[in-house]
Amino acid sequence: MSEMPVAAINAVLAQYDLPGTLKCVEPIVQGHINHTYRVTLVDASSGLRSTYVVQQINQHVFREPEKVMHNVRQIAQHVQGLEDPGHCSILQFLDTRTGANYVRLEGQYWRVSPFVENSISYDVVEDSRIVCRAGYAFGRFQAMLADLPMEDLAETIPDFHNTPKRLQDFFAVVHEDPVGRAGEVSREIAFFEKHRELVSQLELLREQGMLPRRVTHNDTKINNILMDQESGEPVCVLDLDTVMPGLVAMDFGDAIRTAGNTALEDERDLTKVNLHMPHYEAFTRGFVGVCRSTLTPLEIDTLALGAVTITTEQAARFLGDYLGGDRYYRIHRPQHNLERARCQITLAQRMLDRMDEMEAVVRKYAVAADVSC
């Protein structure tokens, strides 16, 4: 590690009342947005060691870090005020000596959190019990924050999951065709034309006041949950940077889009792409079982549609980037974004084929007596 991060980390730590001096800094490579380090402090008199996570916020992605940390503060205070925080909480950031939950140093934004010992996160999950526990963790996140007023939160990324707006942007790129690729993807474009109205329904219902905005996580991948290494129980939800007002169906749907795909997100062999129904049912059991009492009947009824909606939205984003010359997503081969888009289109179609079954599973756990994992 270069000297500069160590010097910066020392300057950041100096803003906190933490025991000991910096002994060790190790980069944490999991995650692709922020720069994250595990730091160990040692108290010279007692020899006691303490471990923390120090993170530099990526300001290219999060252009207004103050709003990000404002939202984190709001949900943290709300959770701390609960009489029963439950078995899974959220990651807590420490306050500086001045009471801020971040440090601004030479134009950069840093924050510090305790290192959660004896925990593990999963990038790939085969065990449906782990998927169920992940569903519980994200459902518990919804339940804990159900009564937090939306006006207390900032919208850190405008129109982040506004599917009609995403599709409008997509069709604008199709029309412009800046690098001459639209002709080769006419079948994929036809998919979005066919399902544009369906996947715009959630946002329309929100605009009509029929679906409420909730505190949404907006990045509900299973690896954003820390699990206890021994018991396998969820400990806390991570990666809170995209927390803002949104639709609960989109959080549910994004988890299904990732955990419920039988293949990788960029799988080229589309025969391998399908909806993993045991994982879908397991996540639904955990998620709906813990937050059903806080949701409206229409929210419950539209959860499955959220999976189709966000999968289609992500497919449009991948294909739009391909048509625009691969400017947003990092690619590792010439047609990488096209392959990603085709994979997501295939997954969305598989969901559409099983929509009745998906909705029946949601209804089952909306009323089930036993929803334990």
Candidate CATH numbers 3.40.720, 1.10.1790, 3.90.105, 3.30.200; the one for domain 3-62+91-115: 3.30.200
Residues 30 and 266: their CA atoms lie apart, in Å, by 19
Q: Is 68 exposed, middle or buried (0-12, 13-18, 19+ CB in 10 A)?
A: buried
Residues 11 and 315: their CA atoms lie apart, in Å, by 42
Say what the pTM is.
0.92
Question: In this structure, are residues 88 and 138 in contact, taking their beta carbons and an 8 Å threshold?
Answer: no
Question: In this structure, are residues 319 and 188 in contact, taking their beta carbons and an 8 Å threshold?
Answer: yes
What are the distances in angstroms from CA 41 to CA 12, 112, 146, 190, 289?
A: 13, 13, 37, 57, 41
pLDDT mean values, one per 10 residues, the chain (373 residues)? 74 95 87 84 90 93 93 94 76 96 96 95 90 96 94 91 97 98 98 98 98 96 94 93 96 96 94 97 98 98 98 98 93 95 98 98 96 92
* The Cα angle at residue 9 between residues 5 and 10, in degrees rounded to 5: 120
Question: In this structure, are residues 306 and 202 in contact, taking their beta carbons and an 8 Å threshold?
Answer: yes
Residues 55 and 121: their CA atoms lie apart, in Å, by 18
Residues 8 and 371: their CA atoms lie apart, in Å, by 47
Question: In this structure, are residues 66 and 108 in contact, taking their beta carbons and an 8 Å threshold?
Answer: no
Give CATH for domain 128-367.
Answer: 3.90.1200.10
Number of residues that this document lists for the chain? 373
Domain range annotation of the chain: 3-62+91-115, 128-367
Asked whether this chain's domains 3-62+91-115 and 128-367 adopt the same fold, the reply is no
With the C-alpha atoms ordered 205, 208, 211, 214, is the resulting torsion angle positive or negative? positive
With the C-alpha atoms ordered 151, 288, 309, 332, is the resulting torsion angle positive or negative? positive
CA atoms within 13 A on the CB side of 266: 12
Q: Helical H runs in 220-367?
A: 248-259, 277-291, 297-301, 303-323, 336-353, 355-367
* The Cα angle at residue 317 between residues 314 and 323, in degrees rounded to 5: 145
φ, ψ (nearest 5 deg) of residue 83: -70, -35
